[in-house]
Amino acid sequence: MRSLRFVSCYRKERKACAKVRKEIPTQLANFAGIHLPGKAPLTIALAVALVICVQFSSTVFGQGKTSKPGNSQSQTYRQEGVAVEFRIDPIPAAKGKVSELLEGTEATVRFKVTDANAGKVLNNLRPAVWIDKRDAGAASTPQACREKVQSFLQSGFNRRPNIDLNSYFILTLNDEANISVIDPLSGFGGSKLYTIVALPGPGDDWVMSADRKRLYVSIPSLNQVAVVDIPSWKVVAKLNAGVGPSRLALQNDGKYLWVGNDAPNATESGVTVIDTVTLDVAARITTGLGHHEIAFTPDDASAFVTNKESGTVSLIDIRRLAHVKDIKVGSQPAALAFSPLSQTVYIVNEGDGAITGIDAKFETLVPIKTAPGSVALRVSPDGRFGFVVNHKTNSVYIFDLSTHRLIHEVPVGPNPRSDRVYHTVRLCTRGRQ
- Please report, for the chain, the start and end positions of each structural domain, with discontinuous segments joined by +: 17-23+168-430, 26-164
Q: How far is CA 24 from CA 41, 358, 380, in A?
A: 20, 39, 28
pLDDT given at position 425: 42
For residues 402 and 342, is the Cβ–Cβ distance under 8 A?
yes
| Cα torsion 219, 257, 17, 167: sign | negative
Dihedrals phi, psi of 43, to nearest 5 degrees: -115, 120
Amino acid at 79: Q
Q: How far apart are CA 179 and CA 373, in angstroms?
A: 31
Q: How far apart are CA 102 and CA 106, in angstroms?
A: 8
Task: Concatenate the DSSP letters of all residues of 341-394 into one string.
Answer: TTTEEEEEETTT--EEEE-TTS-BPPPBP--S-EEEEEE-TTSSEEEEEETTTT
Which regions in the chain score pLDDT beneath 70? 1-71, 93-98, 155-158, 187-191, 417-433
Q: How far apart are CA 214 and CA 227, in angstroms?
A: 7
pLDDT given at position 152: 83
Please name which of 128, 57, 113 lies closest in space to residue 81, comparing C-alpha atoms.
Answer: 113
For residues 250 and 257, is the Cβ–Cβ distance under 8 A?
yes
pLDDT given at position 157: 62
pTM: 0.75
Residue 12, helix vs strand vs coil: coil
| Cα torsion 304, 388, 20, 241: sign | positive
- Looking at the domain 17-23+168-430, which fold is it? Methylamine Dehydrogenase; Chain H (2.130.10)
Q: How far is CA 48 from CA 114, 130, 147, 153, 428, in A?
A: 11, 12, 15, 13, 27
Residue 247, helix vs strand vs coil: strand
Please compute, for residue 246, the number of CA atoms within 13 A of its CA located in the half-sphere on the CB side: 19
pLDDT given at position 94: 64
pLDDT given at position 203: 96
pLDDT given at position 137: 72
Q: Which residues contact 56 (CB under 8 A, 6 or more apart)?
A: 41, 42, 43, 44, 75, 86
pLDDT given at position 48: 45
pLDDT given at position 41: 44
Longest dimension (CA), the chain: 73
